[in-house]
Amino acid sequence: QDFDSRLACIFIQVFDECYNMESIFKFINISGTLLDRPAIRNAIIGKYAFLIQYFSEEVDMVKVLFDEGKKNGIPINLNFPPVAGILWWLYKLKQRILKPGEDFKLLENKIVESPDALYAFSKWEQMLLLIDDEFSKVLSEWMDRTPGQISTSLSKLRIVRNGELISLNLDDELVAILREVKYMKMLDITDFAPDIEELFQRNEELFQSCQQLNTIVEYYNHLKTNTLPEEYALFKDEMDQINVQLNVLIDSIDWTVNSDEFVKNLYDNIKQLYDRVLAAQKNIGSIIAEIQSWGKEPLYERKEGLCKNTLQLDDRLERLNKRYGQISATSRNAVFALQLNYKLFFNIEDEPEEIEEVQEEVLVEEPKEPPGKKGAKPEPKKDKRTSEIKPHESKEQEAKRLKEEAKEELRQSRELLWRPYEMHVDNLILNVMLNAIKTSVNYLEEESSTVKNPNLFPLFELLLEIHDDEVVYVPSIDPDDISGFLNLVRSLIEDMYCMAKCMARIDKTNEDPDYLNDALACADIKDTNLQFIARVKSGMEAAEEYLGIFDDYAYLWQDDRR
C-alpha cells in the first residue's frame, strides 16, 4: 500500500507535467494496469475530469481558428501555393484533434461515458465534419477549374518574339498547377482528374524543356544585344540558320507536344555559337586588360614613388626594356587572339582541309558573291563551270581546280566580313595604347605643375659644376646641345611615344606597321607635351638667370692664385 501511494504521487506529477493530450495518452498506455490499482486510481481520478476539459477546450480552439481563417483569410505557410496552402492548413487543424479524440475514445475508463465526455465527442465529430467538408469543397472547386486552365496554357506557343528578342511563353498558372499537385500529393491526395495527372506526369519533361528553352532565350538575346555590328556580321549566316529553326518553334510548337529532340538540336546549335562568340569576346577583352595592366603605370616615376624624390632615371634602360618587352608580348598575344577569333567566328576547326571541303560543297550548291566586291566574278553555276573545263583536263585536275576556286571564293567572302571586325579591334587597341601613353605623359605634366600643387618638389635635378673656369650645368641647359637637358626631356617623351611602335598593327590594310603615327597625331598628348616642354624651357631660362649671381666671384676660380 505504501508502494502504491508513492506510485500515485509520481503518476500525479507526471499528469501535471504532460504538456498535451498526446503525451498524456502515451503515459496512460505505458502505465497499463497500474492505473487500475485502487490507491492509484483514487489518486488520479480527478485528472481524468481535467482530461475531458482539456480535450473540449482543444476542440473549441480549433473551431475558433477555423472561423477566424474563414473570416479574415487563411494563414498559408511560406512557399506553399494558395490552394495546397489552404488544404495544408485544414489538414493541420484536423490532425490537431483527430488523434487525441481517437485515443480518448479507446480509453478503458467509465469517464469516457460521462455526459461531459459525450458532449466533447459530439463537438469533436462536428468539427471533423466541418473540416472535411471545407477540405472537399476547396479541392473540388480547384479540380473543376484546373483542366480548362491546363488546356488554355498548354495550347500556347513555347517561345514568342518581342521585337528582335525572344522570351519563354510558359503561363504562371501552369507552373502554379504543377506546384499545387506536388504539395497535394504530400497530403496523400491522389484522385486527380486525368488532365491534371497527365500534366504532372510530364513535370520532369517540362522542367527539362524549360531549362533548355530558358538557356536558348538567354543565349539568343545575348547574341542580339551584347555583340557589336562588326561581330554580328561574322556569324549572321549561322544566326539565320538558327532563326529558321526558331521560327518553327515560335510558329507551330506549343506545350501539348513532346519536342525534346527538336529543342535539344536547337539548343546545341545556339550553344556552340554562343560559346564561340563569348570566347572570342573574352580573347579581345584579355588583350585590352593586358594593355591596361602595364599602361596604368607611368613609364618613369619619382624614386620609390615618394613626392620628395626626383624622377628616377638611373634604371632608364632597364625600365625601357621591361616595358617594351611587355608591349611586344602583348602584341604577339593580340595577333594570336585575332587568329583564334578568326577560327571561332567562322567555325573553323583544327582540320582546315576537312572544313574547307564541307564549305566547298555548300558553295557549289549555293554560290554567293559579296555585293560590290571589286573584280568580282559572276556567280558560278554548275553548267558554266563544266563548260570552262580546259581541253585535255582530267577529272582529277577539274576537281582540284573547282576545289581551289571554292576555297578562294570562301576566303574572299570571309575577308570582306573580317575586315570591319579587324578595324574595330585595331581601334580598340589604339585607344588603350593612347591611354597608356597619356598616363606617362600626364605624370610628367602633373608632377611639374606648381599651379595644381604649389608645394610640389622638383622633378629633375641639375648639377652646377666648374668646367674650364666656367660655371656650367650638368646636363647643359643649352637648347642646342645634343646631350643637354632639353634633349634629355625630349628623349623621355620619345620613349613614351615609342611604346606605340612596339605594338604591331592589327589592321593589316593600314599602311602603318604600328601605332606610332597615331600617337604622334593625338592632339591631347601633343598639347600635354607642349605644356610640359614650355615649363621645362621656362625653368631653363630661370636657371640661366641664376648663373649671374656667380659673376662677382669668378675671380676665385679664374685668377692664378700662385
- Grid cell digits, residue 293: 595592366
pLDDT at residue 367 greater than cutoff 60: no
Rounded average pLDDT over 335-345: 95
Q: In the structure grid, which three cell numbers stand for residue 396, read together?
A: 582529277
Picking from 140, 160, 255, 174, the residue whose alpha carbon sits closest to that of residue 216 is 160
Q: Number of C-alpha atoms within 13 angstroms, CB side, residue 385?
A: 19
Position 496 scores a pLDDT of 95
d(CA 140, CA 137): 5
User: Which has the closest alpha carbon to 430: 545, 295, 273, 238?
Assistant: 295
In this structure, the chain runs to a length of 562
Whether residue 215 has pLDDT greater than 70? yes
What is the mean pLDDT of the segment spanning 89-100? 91
Confidence grade of residue 466 (pLDDT, cut at 50, 70, 90): confident
Residues 432, 295: contact at Cβ < 8 Å? yes
pLDDT of 301 strictly over 70: yes
* The pLDDT of residue 562 is above 50: no
Q: Does residue 157 sit in helix, strand or coil?
A: strand
Give the Cα separation of 404 and 401 in Å (integer).
Answer: 5
Cell numbers given for 446: 602633373
Q: Are strands 159-162 and 165-168 parallel, antiparallel or unpaired?
A: antiparallel
Q: What angle do CA 214, 216, 218 make, to 5 degrees?
A: 70
For residue 275, name the pLDDT band (cuts at 50, 70, 90). Answer: very high
Helices (H), ranges, 352-394: 352-365, 382-387
Q: Mean pLDDT over residues 400-410, rounded?
A: 82
Nearest C-alpha neighbor of 132 from the set 177, 171, 97: 97
pLDDT of amino acid 44: 62
pLDDT score, position 31: 62
Give the pLDDT confidence of 139-175 residue by residue, as tens digits.
999 999 999 999 999 998 899 999 999 999 998 999 9
Task: Name the residue among 112, 115, 108, 195 with its Cα closest to residue 148.
Answer: 195
Residue 363 in contact with residue 405, Cβ under 8 Å?
no
What does 34-97 look like in DSSP terms, one character per residue?
GGGSHHHHHHHHHHHHHHHHHHHHHHHHHHHHHHHHHHH---PPTT--HHHHHHHHHHHHHHHH
Q: What is the pLDDT of residues 263-274, one digit of tens each?
A: 999 999 999 999
Q: Any idea which of 26-35, 80-89, 103-112 has the lowest mean pLDDT?
A: 26-35
What is the mean predicted confidence (pLDDT) over 481-496?
Answer: 92
Strand positions, DSSP E, 274-346: none
Average pLDDT of the residues in 303-325: 91
CA–CA separation, 291 and 451 (whole Å): 31
pLDDT of the residue at 555: 66
> Which one-letter DSSP state was computed for residue 452?
T
103 has a pLDDT exceeding 50: yes
Contact of 324 with 502, CB cutoff 8 Å: yes
Q: What is the pLDDT of residue 356?
A: 42
Positive or negative: CA dihedral 248, 251, 252, 255: positive
Cis before 475? omega within 30: yes
Q: Do the beta carbons of residue 504 and residue 335 sit within 8 Å?
A: yes
- Residue type, position 208, single letter: Q
User: What is the reported pLDDT for 28?
Assistant: 66
- pLDDT beyond 90 at 19: no
Segment 19-27 shows an average pLDDT of 65
Other C-beta atoms within 10 Å of 147: how many? 17
Give me the mean pLDDT over the 46-70 stretch: 85
**What confidence tier does 358 reach under pLDDT thresholds 50, 70, 90?**
very low
Chain-centre distance for alpha carbon 313: 45
Task: Indicate the burial class of 542 (C-beta count within 10 angstroms; 0-12, 13-18, 19 or more).
Answer: exposed
